[in-house]
Amino acid sequence: MSQNGVVVRLFTAPDTGDDMVEHESVNAVENRGIEGDRYYKGKGIWNEWEDNPNNEASDITFIELEAIEAVREDYDIDLDFGDARRNVVTRDVPLNHLVGKRFQVGDAVCEGLNLCEPCGYMQGLVGKGKVADALKHRGGLDARVVESGEIACDDAVTL
């Protein structure tokens, strides 16, 4: 992983389907997620599905800035940073390679669980073209928080 990987944007949603709220910094809590977020509260559509991969609930989600830019360019979809419904937008971080690995983001340590493939539910909330198709295989990463800590914009992301 590049030593230049950084956090670009941070988001939470208080409940399933709520609008994403942008933050400059957040507190990630071990085995819970980001304080105030739907995943922290045990909600969120992913955590409510009984058939999610490996039956593992996600604490926090990530997406690459580069994936958002590719959707804008390749599919001509005006995708805002929060539209993908992920908590952390990163730059220069190959998220698909972090499944099963621990990595540090700001002061928190996370472990990649699964690729976060987009779904029809997310597409319905976004309401912009075929965004689920555009994000296929680059929809981000579901992760667990294994050590609590603060995460802020411009923080490093490292193995």
CATH 2.40.33.20 applies to domain 6-158: yes
pLDDT in tens, 19-74: 899 999 999 999 999 999 998 988 765 545 455 444 567 899 999 999 999 888 98
Residue pair 149/28 in contact by the 8 Å Cβ criterion: yes
CA distances from 144 to 10, 58, 71, 109, 131 (A): 16, 6, 26, 9, 25
The residue with greater pLDDT, 47 or 90, is 90
| Extents of the domains making up the chain | 6-158
Task: Report whether pLDDT(92) > 60.
Answer: yes
If one compares 144 and 130, the residue with the highest pLDDT of the two is 144
